[in-house]
A and B are shown apart, each in its own frame.
Chain A
Amino acid sequence: KAGVTQTPRYLIKTRGQQVTLSCSPISGHRSVSWYQQTPGQGLQFLFEYFSETQRNKGNFPGRFSGRQFSNSRSEMNVSTLELGDSALYLCASSFSPKETQYFGPGTRLLVL
């Protein structure tokens, strides 16, 4: 069974631009969560989706948004990029919100 896939794997953007990251969960998984990982703050929860509905949202500004499609694939968008948005963005999927999560390899975003 294929694991969680994230595209693109690497991305370079400039301040003020926007970016969209994509996550394809493991087949059959309906729950998708997003995390931001930085050396200073570690892994921080962004949001969680289940059956196209956002269940939880972390403490991030409104520039960070996401959505989930009917096939469980998910995207997250960051508008008006700031230097501090440089991070590894990780997606994790599970059968349901109570089940074990499996992480993808992440998208490494560099904002210049």
Chain B
Amino acid sequence: QKEVEQDPGPLSVPEGAIVSLNCTYSNSAFQYFMWYRQYSRKGPELLMYTYSSGNKEDGRFTAQVDKSSKYISLFIRDSQPSDSATYLCAMRRHGGSQGNLIFGKGTKLSVKP
């Protein structure tokens, strides 16, 4: 079993839809959880960063962490064609460094106008 599992998609939604992206993980030592967005031919950019369990909201984006279920989610409200990209979850344990993140394989999202 891989440490981090993420459905690769692709996921296609109409503009304005609510998008739900998810990852599951097996290592209970993970404490820091991140979502990155990667456009084609670009490097990943950090979208959301959360510590331990709970929710975090930033504009149209909401990140949720359920440590009891080892499950994290990213919700995108009012999705736009510019949100079309690959979304990667990443995580690390407490005491680990940011340079040693464990990534999911990414979910490719397409938002149709």
B103 and A106 contact, CB distance less than 8 A? no
Q: Is A94 in contact with chain B by the CB < 8 A criterion?
A: yes
A42 and B103 contact, CB distance less than 8 A? yes
Interface of B is mostly: mixed
Total A-B pairs, Cβ < 8 A: 67
* Inter-chain contacts of B104 with A (CB < 8 A): 42
Shortest Cβ gap from B24 to chain A (Å): 15
* Inter-chain contacts of B102 with A (CB < 8 A): 45
Kindly supply a per-residue 1/0 record for chain A positions 10-42, scoring 1 wherever the CB is within 8 Å of any chain B CB and 0 otherwise. 000000000000000000000111010000011
Give me the 7 closest cross-chain CB pairs, A-B, nearest first.
A103-B43, A48-B99, A97-B97, A33-B99, A42-B105, A43-B103, A56-B100
7 contacts between A and B (CB under 8 A): A43-B44, A43-B88, A58-B100, A97-B99, A98-B97, A103-B43, A106-B42
What is B's interface to A at a CB cutoff of 8 Å? 36, 41-46, 49, 88, 90, 97-106
What is A's interface to B at a CB cutoff of 8 Å? 4, 31-33, 35, 41-45, 48, 50, 55-56, 58, 90, 92, 94, 97-106
